[in-house]
Amino acid sequence: MLVEIGTGADATRTQILHLAAEQNLLASVMDSGSGGHVISVGGSLEGDIASLPGVLRVQMKHRPFAMASLDARPRSTVTVGDVVIGGQKPVMIAGPCSVEGREVLIDQARQAQAAGADLLRGGAFKPRTSPYSFQGHGELGLQMLADAREITGLPVVTEVMEPDQVELVSSYADMLQVGSRNMANFSLLKACGRSDKPVLLKRGFSATLEEFLMSAEYIMAHGNQNVVLCERGIRTSDAAFRFNLDLNIVPGVRAVSHLPIIVDPSHGTGRRELVHRMALAGIAAGADGLAIEVHPDPDNALSDGMQTITPAELSRIVRRVAALSDVLAATEGELLDVMPFARLGATA
């Protein structure tokens, strides 16, 4: 059930949470977007909740991803450092796939920033298909990312792979990334939910829209409301592409969820010559930003060089994204109207 309470109804909020605890029901609180709060309870509370002081509505039927749903609140934003994701301006997350070295990373961060990056990405821990591939520098890589942030001012986004890494990575990063392979790692999602750092949640490469949002729900239900979704491509039978960028998911998410969503055209295609056009397509589909792998010398990158672009190419993308965003803003009512998805209808 969802319970919305108005501004100042702190006693009622405490009472509802207490009732949920007494009845052994998971409950979590988030901002309503209008000054009050929404409480999601994993079941039906006994008693006349609607009559409590400050209760604005009680909703018994809603989507299974209750807190991530538009049933809970209007469109939300997530702030990482001083960067707002989900606002008027598309956000650019850029950097190398893997942290390769301190001075190299600082130079890469400077070049990405000059090209228009708002946040710096880079892997300190790398999940690789082959056990013999470069696995990242671990905590030393996290220190390098923190040094790059200190010099450039760019907030840092980096992947966390295991629940017991969350505290360590949170001590260095501004945003935790949950990778595609870990979208259904529920222990990791719960641990991220207990963190105070925003989370970038990547879609599993065979996950449905509902499964994607239910993973976000795990994080939110355990206390962390600052979740940004990321489409990074799905696996198909076409061997010409590493993955296929499924842009259906962008307007699909926007039709049913208040969470921001960005697009990763690097992993979504696996081919650097496709990144530019698919980045623009992602923005046209309604994405709130892009995550792009950038390296001054992609052919000699330690990982994912085939899908990595240069800072010069990033600069061209940034300019064209800005122009496209202006066009979309001027024609918002004509181009971006979306209808709710009936198949993701309310459930008890």
The full set of domain ranges for the chain reads 2-59, 78-335
Residue 105 has a pLDDT of: 96
> Which tokens sit at 158?
């980096």
Does the structure show a pLDDT above 80 at 23? yes
> Which tokens sit at 199?
């989370």
pLDDT in tens, 98-131: 999 999 999 999 999 999 999 999 999 866 666 6
Does the structure show a pLDDT above 80 at 342? no
Tell me the C-alpha distance between 264 and 308, whole Å.
11
Tell me the mean pLDDT in the region 39-44. 91
> Which tokens sit at 180?
């595609």
| Least confident interval from 98-112, 133-147, 301-315 | 133-147
Tell me the C-alpha distance between 280 and 67, whole Å.
30
Residue 329 has a pLDDT of: 85
| Least confident interval from 123-127, 231-235, 275-279, 293-297 | 123-127
Does the structure show a pLDDT above 70 at 91? yes
Q: What is the pTM of this model?
A: 0.91
Q: Residue 339: which pLDDT band, with cuts at 50, 70 and 90?
A: very low
pLDDT in tens, 220-265: 999 999 999 999 999 988 888 888 999 999 999 999 999 999 999 9
- Please state the three-class secondary structure of 307-319 as a single string: HCECHHHHHHHHH
CATH T-level topology, domain 78-335 = TIM Barrel (3.20.20)
Does the structure show a pLDDT above 70 at 197? yes
Concatenate the DSSP letters of all residues of 236-294 into one string.
Answer: -S-TTSSSB--TTHHHHHHHHB-S-EEE-HHHHHS-HHHHHHHHHHHHHTT-SEEEEEB
Q: Residue 345: which pLDDT band, with cuts at 50, 70 and 90?
A: very low
Q: Residue 341: which pLDDT band, with cuts at 50, 70 and 90?
A: very low
Residue 347 has a pLDDT of: 43
What average pLDDT does the structure give for the chain? 91
Tell me the C-alpha distance between 94 and 275, whole Å.
13
Tell me the C-alpha distance between 125 and 154, whole Å.
20
Tell me the C-alpha distance between 318 and 12, whole Å.
47
Does the structure show a pLDDT above 80 at 344? no
DSSP 3-state of 7: coil
Residue 131 has a pLDDT of: 64
What is the strand order of the sheet 27-31 is part of? Answer: 27-31, 37-41, 2-5, 55-59
Tell me the mean pLDDT in the region 182-204. 97
Cα–Cα–Cα angle for 46, 51, 53, rounded to 5 degrees: 115
| Least confident interval from 105-109, 201-205, 305-309, 336-340 | 336-340
